[in-house]
């Protein structure tokens, strides 16, 4: 996801410095090349060796280092960066940057960079609400520095309140968003995700193994690329991606109602949800008693939501999914034409590493004009990126 991206991670001196280790791990795991700069105070909390070992690169601590300065270390670092993150950023460091003071490796490199700068503050609540700090933050925001606000909680200093470093996952998410192209800005994209549940009685239901991972990856990726995202989700255990409008539904009929009500707002709709094809004709008001050896539930077809979207007069760009176990491309192509879609993503559910409830997928993208594109085994995040590349290109050409 961050392959080929060069990120500077500036760590300043606060108790939250240890959380920068987790952030570094997330960044390197996503493929980024990370160069760490530590202030003198930061080294009181965590050793440079920890960051050096995990980043695989020397940690910069001194402005005047004879080896690095042969190529003027802070300037070449600053020039080559795609993104500069400061986490945790103390009131002192933020104050220095706002005041134009560059008296150590971190503040000098920030001053010299043209890369976007993402600042994650962490400090005592009274420092955070101090008007001097507020003025510094506002000044930097006006100058296009981005902030990942701290969260509320009990602070290391004993106080309760705002000032706790944002979770590393949140800072990571903001970093990915800062580095993503904004080719879906101004577009509204609806994604459906997860299973639907069709109740038999108050404690039992019919459903399937969809975890929502594919749909949530699509929603996350579209939001990072600047889209306004409406995520219509069946029951899942996933945390919602940041910056999306999340609408919870349970049954296929509820999903149909929400999707059809919001469809007119959308430039594109991606239906990755695994909608139950049938629901019980009647939902028992009470728990059904096990009085006999055999029992049966009469089922009735659920509405075909995607089919309904395909029949709209002025329909948005429509992407369906097909979960197949045999004759994958033939069945998927049939669904594409029957439901009047622009693209269908066929995943082969006969494979354990693709389809339901795994982090990876293997898919064939089939387009309305007969073209197709095979996507070999990849993460659901990467597949989401490939699908959105096509949607962004198509919407741009309209």
Query: Of the ranges 46-54, 81-89, 120-128, 317-325, which one interacts with ligand PMT (CB under 6 A)?
Result: 317-325
Note if the bond before 88 is cis, omega within 30 degrees. Answer: yes
CA atoms of 195 and 249, how far apart (whole Å): 10
CA atoms of 179 and 165, how far apart (whole Å): 21
Answer yes or no whether residue 323 interacts with ligand PMT by CB under 6 A.
Answer: yes
CB of 227 to ligand PMT, least distance (A): 19
Site for ligand PMT, residues 175 to 194, rule: CB under 6 A: 194
Among 106, 117, 119, 214, binds ligand PMT (CB under 6 A): 214
Query: Of the ranges 8-16, 26-34, 106-114, 273-281, which one interacts with ligand PMT (CB under 6 A)?
Result: 273-281
CA atoms of 167 and 151, how far apart (whole Å): 8
Answer yes or no whether residue 233 interacts with ligand PMT by CB under 6 A.
Answer: no
CB of 273 to ligand PMT, least distance (A): 5
Answer yes or no whether residue 277 interacts with ligand PMT by CB under 6 A.
Answer: yes
CB of 322 to ligand PMT, least distance (A): 4
Residues 201, 203, 207, 213: is their CA dihedral positive or negative?
positive
CB of 356 to ligand PMT, least distance (A): 5
CB atoms within 10 A of CB 32: 25
The verdict on whether 157 is a catalytic residue reads: yes
According to DSSP, the β-strands at 151-154 and 160-164 are antiparallel
Residues touching ligand PMT: how many (CB under 6 A)?
A: 26
CA atoms of 213 and 224, how far apart (whole Å): 16
The arrangement of strands across the sheet holding 146-147 comes to 33-38, 6-11, 83-89, 117-121, 146-147
CB of 51 to ligand PMT, least distance (A): 34
Considering beta carbons, is residue 173 or 198 the nearer one to ligand PMT? Answer: 198
Query: Of the ranges 11-19, 40-48, 135-143, 349-357, which one interacts with ligand PMT (CB under 6 A)?
Result: 349-357
According to DSSP, the β-strands at 117-121 and 146-147 are parallel
The two tokens of residue 140 are 């930097």
Binding residues (CB under 6 A) for ligand PMT: these are 194, 210-214, 252, 271-275, 277, 302, 304-306, 320-323, 335, 347, 355-357
The residues assigned a catalytic role are 157
């Amino acid at each position: 996801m961050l392959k080929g991206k060069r990120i500077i991670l500036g760590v300043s001196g606060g108790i939250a410095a240890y959380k920068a280790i987790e952030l570094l791990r997330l960044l390197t795991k996503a493929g980024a090349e990370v160069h760490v700069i530590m202030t003198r105070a930061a080294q009181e909390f965590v050793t440079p060796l920890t960051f050096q070992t995990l980043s695989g690169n020397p940690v910069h601590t001194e402005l005047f280092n004879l080896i690095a300065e042969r190529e003027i270390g802070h300037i070449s670092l600053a020039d080559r960066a795609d993104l500069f993150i400061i986490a945790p950023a103390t009131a002192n460091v933020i104050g220095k940057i706002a005041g134009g003071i560059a008296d150590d490796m971190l503040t000098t490199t920030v001053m010299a960079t043209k890369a976007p700068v993402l600042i994650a503050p962490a400090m005592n609540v009274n420092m955070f609400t101090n008007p001097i700090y507020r003025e510094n933050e506002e000044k930097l925001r006006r100058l296009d520095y981005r902030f990942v606000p701290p969260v509320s909680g009990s602070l290391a200093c004993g106080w309760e309140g705002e000032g706790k470093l944002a979770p590393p996952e949140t800072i990571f998410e903001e970093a990915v968003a800062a580095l993503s192209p904004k080719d879906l800005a101004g577009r509204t994209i609806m994604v459906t995700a997860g299973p639907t549940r069709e109740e038999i009685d108050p404690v039992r239901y019919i459903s399937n193994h969809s975890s929502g991972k594919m749909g949530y990856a699509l929603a996350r990726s579209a939001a990072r690329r600047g889209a306004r995202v409406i995520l219509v989700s069946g029951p899942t255990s996933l945390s919602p991606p940041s910056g999306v409008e999340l609408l919870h539904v349970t049954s296929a009929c509820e999903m149909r109602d929400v999707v059809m009500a919001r469809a007119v707002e959308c430039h594109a709709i991606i239906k990755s949800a695994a909608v139950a094809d049938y629901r019980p004709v009647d939902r028992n008001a009470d728990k059904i008693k096990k009085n006999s050896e055999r029992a049966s539930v009469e089922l009735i077809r659920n509405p075909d939501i995607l089919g309904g979207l395909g029949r709209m007069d002025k329909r948005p760009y429509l992407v369906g999914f097909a979960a197949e176990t045999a004759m994958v491309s033939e069945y998927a192509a049939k669904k594409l034409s029957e439901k009047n879609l622009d693209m269908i993503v066929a995943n082969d559910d006969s494979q354990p590493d693709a389809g339901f409830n795994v982090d990876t997928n293997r898919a064939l993208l089939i387009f309305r004009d007969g073209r197709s594109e095979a996507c070999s085994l990849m993460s659901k995040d990467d597949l989401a990126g490939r699908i959105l590349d096509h949607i962004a290109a198509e919407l741009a050409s309209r």
